[in-house]
Amino acid sequence: MRTLSCIAVLILVLLAPAAANATPRIVVLGDSLSAAYGIDQRHGWVALLRQRLREQGLDYEVVNASITGDTTRGGLSRLPSTLEREQPAILIIALGGNDGLRGFAPQQTRDNIRRMIELGRAAGARILLLGVKLPANYGKAFGEKFHRVYLDLGRDRQVALVPFFLAGVAETRDLMQPDGIHPAAAAQPLILENVWTGLTPLLGSTASDPGGSD
């Protein structure tokens, strides 16, 4: 019995350095806006994020857990297994657009995202929330109430927030695909810049301005 105990301790000692030196992960939990819908995956903003981190010398692995058509309810249902499998250092929540497009109650979206934030934090992840706005044809009142979900959660839950991660993109027809909902390949670098502003503080002081202004 004593021999078995010694072997178990030895195994734990040998495995500990490997666990300590594991590359930290950034998990993007999103929908088609993050899954590079309609364009080459290599040109999507998540792929560009991998490239940016590599260029900055920041040792992070990026896992794109985005599914086209997903809602906050779907994201919430698969988040526990994603957290267990990936053990992210940073969780980027980029969901809600499909909730709004389908007319789901904003309170439902708020509750789902709030729970995702809680689960992510309980798993030890830092959280970045990417805000979404609806097209104008969904009505001003509903659109404002929907967008308020992100602003309120960012304030109340004290999470890093990009208020509208398609800012400068959704308003420009040439940067959108023909459906008017999904960004084109040319828009992806701009989306990355929007995300980067919220992500940089979570990466630590080694992340610099790509323009060299730091």
Active site residues: 32, 179, 182
State the virtual CA torsion across 83, 59, 130, 65 in degrees, nearest 10.
Answer: -40
The Cα–Cα gap between 92 and 131 comes to 11
E-state strands within 67-174 = 90-94, 126-130, 160-162
Give me the half-sphere count of Cα atoms (radius 13 Å) on the Cβ side of residue 115.
15
Using only C-alpha atoms, the chain has a radius of gyration, in whole angstroms, of: 19
CA distances from 197 to 28, 52, 75 (A): 16, 13, 24
CA distances from 17 to 12, 62, 109, 132, 199 (A): 9, 22, 40, 40, 27
The Cα–Cα gap between 55 and 77 comes to 34
DSSP H or E segment with residue 64: strand 61-64
Q: Which of 196, 171, 195, 199 minimizes the C-alpha distance to 183?
A: 171
The Cα–Cα gap between 115 and 73 comes to 10
